[in-house]
Amino acid sequence: MRLTLEEISHHYGALEVLRDVAFTIDPGRIVCLIGPSGCGKSTLLRFLGGLERPDRGRVMIEGEPPADTLNALTYVFQDFALLPWRTVRGNIDLVLEPHRLSRAARDARIAEVLARTGLTGFESAFPRQLSGGMRQRVAIARALSVRPAVLLMDEPLSALDSQTRELLLDDLISLWSREPFAACYVTHNLHEAVRIGHRVIVLSRRPGQVREIIDIDIPLQERQHAADALAEIHD
């Protein structure tokens, strides 16, 4: 399934936040949106997910999601969005409960994503018992359990310390390497964008416009050195 934004422009009242933004998210590729605060990155993500409609332009969806997809477009937020009174298993099961799956099918999906995210053995833990990095792993596991066609990730690591961010970046790269997924990854961190993006969309200050589209051909597993060198240049 491919997502294409065509000439997206938007205002909130008199405030122009986006102007003529266009790009494509191809199957199995991670697109990073990067730019200064207030340039419309999260607004674009809401348009991609169908939570809002732009004043002008449109989001095109081409192709069909995989047959086992329950939610074609699924969010991962920076604040984890876990229910504190539910266990790890219960938080993942939350997004499966509305679907017509047997208990056995739900259990199989939960076990699969726990294994993929390194959470096996923590099924009965509550969010308060987990570190910030592990809580975000639960949020990622929950998103993966519906087998989305495209993950919409809104600064998913920004609330974490730098060491935990690096570990989770490694986790995401490992997840993608084992089973490639498509994603739109919003960040203000250039290092993150270079580490994980196949394509980096650089937005200007408000109103957000596409300043540059950078395709990165280096395999994700080999990005660390390039990202570190780029970070040194910009320090």
Question: Each residue's pLDDT tens digit in the chain (235 positions)?
Answer: 899 999 999 999 999 999 999 999 999 999 999 999 889 999 999 999 999 999 999 999 998 888 889 999 999 988 888 999 999 999 999 999 999 899 999 999 999 999 989 899 999 999 999 999 999 999 999 999 999 999 999 999 888 888 888 888 888 998 898 888 999 999 988 888 999 999 999 999 999 999 999 999 888 877 766 555 555 544 5
Q: What is the pLDDT of residue 165?
A: 86
Cα angle: 224, vertex 228, 233; to 5 degrees: 150
Please write the tens of the pLDDT for every residue from 84-98.
999 999 999 999 999
* Nearest residue to 8 (alpha-carbon basis) of 45, 44, 46: 44
What is the pLDDT at residue 225? 62
Read off the tokens for 230: 């780029």
CA-CA distance, 207 to 39, in Å (whole number)? Answer: 6
pLDDT at residue number 227: 59
Q: Are strands 210-215 and 199-203 parallel, antiparallel or unpaired?
A: antiparallel
Q: How far apart are CA 198 and CA 212, in angstroms?
A: 14
Q: Which residues make Cβ contacts (< 8 Å) with residue 211, sequence separation at least 6?
A: 202, 203, 204
CA end-to-end span of the chain, whole Å? Answer: 38
Report d(CA 143, CA 164) in Å as an integer.
20
Sequence-distant (6+) residues with CB within 8 A of 129 are none
